[in-house]
Every structure is written in C-alpha cells, then in structure tokens.
Amino acid sequence: MMQLNAMRWRLEVLAVRHGLWMLPGAVLLLGALLAWGWWLPSQEAALREALSMQANEQLSTRTQAAQASAPHGAPHSALPPAARADAAVQRLFALAAEHGLTIAQADYRRQETGRVGRWQVQMPATGTYPQVRRFLRAAQAIPGLSLDELGIHRAPVGAGIEARLLFSVWFTAQAPAERAS
C-alpha cells in the first residue's frame, strides 16, 4: 500500500510540474511497447503462414499444369513428330503467300539434339505492316512454332516494309531404332 501511495504521489508531482499531457503520452508509449512486443510478432507469423500457403498453392497449380501439358511426364512429349514438323514448315510458307507477303529467298536448316529437334527457318518477307501482323497471328496456330527473331525496317518508297523473320519449328526426333524401320 505504501508503494502505491508513493507512486501516486510521484505521478501527481509529475502532473503538476509538466502538466496533464504527460499521462496520455505515457499511456500511448506503453501501448506502443505492448504492440511491438506482442501483437506485431503474432501478425508477422500469421502473414508468413498465409504467404507460405499461397506459395504452396501456386506450386501445386504449376505442377498440375505441367503434368497436364506433358501427359507422359517428358517436356518434349507435347511437341509434334518430325513428319508433322516438315509439314509445318511448308504451312509457314503457304501462310506467308496467303497473307500477301513476298518471300525473296528463305534459308532453313534442320537440327536434332537428343530427343528434340527443330527446323530453323529464316525468311525475309516484303509487304505491309498489317500483312506481317496478320501473318504472325495466323502462324501462332502452327504446333511447335516459335518466333525467335523479328526485324522490321522500311523498304524503298512504295514497297511497304521488309521483315526479317526467324522461326523455329520444334519436334520430337525419332529414336535410332525407329529410323531404321
């Protein structure tokens, strides 16, 4: 009881010397210390738990999407076979003609590395910008096709634009035993 009276007396002296503004300040300071020591760490732990759950959900979604796109577990299993890739290269030139592009000379080569191969096709095309855009949109439907490089510059007056297009048509290479038969 004596300590309580002594503490009360000290608070009254502080209030008289410094005014009543000191009491709300002390209460706010005590509240801030409690929040910093107890409430904030619990909020941080809850936030970390929520973030880890969200990361796990995203990882499982990505894993399921990868399994759905590659039903046999191999990333190259979704690619077309070599015969369809050859037809895709021919389809690429047919699409260019359908969209009014002029192909002066195309350069293409076939590469195989392990179980995956590709046709790399470089085609300089002349036409208008809208023709090139329509051609590229239509070419997206070709299975295994990727646009590796695109360079566009203005052609001489009245000729539209010259586009340098570099495509890759990816395919699954045949195993050596399959080639022999």
Q: What pLDDT digit, counting tens, does each position of 76-88 carry?
A: 567 788 778 888 8
Query: What's the pLDDT tens digit per position in 91-118?
Result: 988 999 999 998 888 888 888 887 888 8
Question: Would you place residue 73 in the very low, low, confident or very high pLDDT band (cuts 50, 70, 90)?
Answer: very low
Pairing of strands 145-154, 102-103: unpaired
- The answer to whether 92 and 167 are in contact (CB under 8 A) is yes
Around Cβ 170, how many Cβ atoms within 10 Å? 18
Q: Which of 21-35, 43-57, 109-123, 164-178 has the lowest mean pLDDT?
A: 164-178
Instruction: State CA 110 to chain mean position distance.
Output: 29
Q: How high is the pLDDT of residue 75?
A: 54
Cβ partners under 8 Å of residue 78, min gap 6: 69, 70
Catalogue the long-range contacts made by 137-142 (C-beta closer than 8 Å, 24 or more residues apart): 138/95, 138/98, 138/99, 139/92, 139/95, 139/167, 142/88, 142/91, 142/92, 142/95, 142/169
Distances 95 to 8, 45, 132, 157, 180 between C-alpha atoms, Å: 92, 57, 11, 25, 33
Q: Sorting pLDDT into bands at 50, 70 and 90, what band is 160?
A: confident
Query: Does 181 have pLDDT greater than 60?
Result: no
Q: What pLDDT score was predicted for residue 54? A: 87
HSE, CB side, 13 Å, CA atoms: give it for residue 7: 4
Average pLDDT over residues 39-55: 86
User: How high is the pLDDT of residue 9?
Assistant: 86
- From CA 27, how far away is CA 52, in angstroms rounded? 36
Q: Give whole-number Cα distances, 105 to 7, 45, 102, 121, in Å.
A: 97, 63, 9, 11
Could you tell me which of 141, 98, 146 has the C-alpha nearest to residue 121? Answer: 146
- The whole-angstrom distance between residue 161's C-alpha and the CA centroid of its chain comes to 31
Average pLDDT over every residue of 60-67: 72
**Amino acid, single-letter form, for residue 107:** D
Q: Using alpha carbons only, how large is the chain's radius of gyration in Å?
A: 35
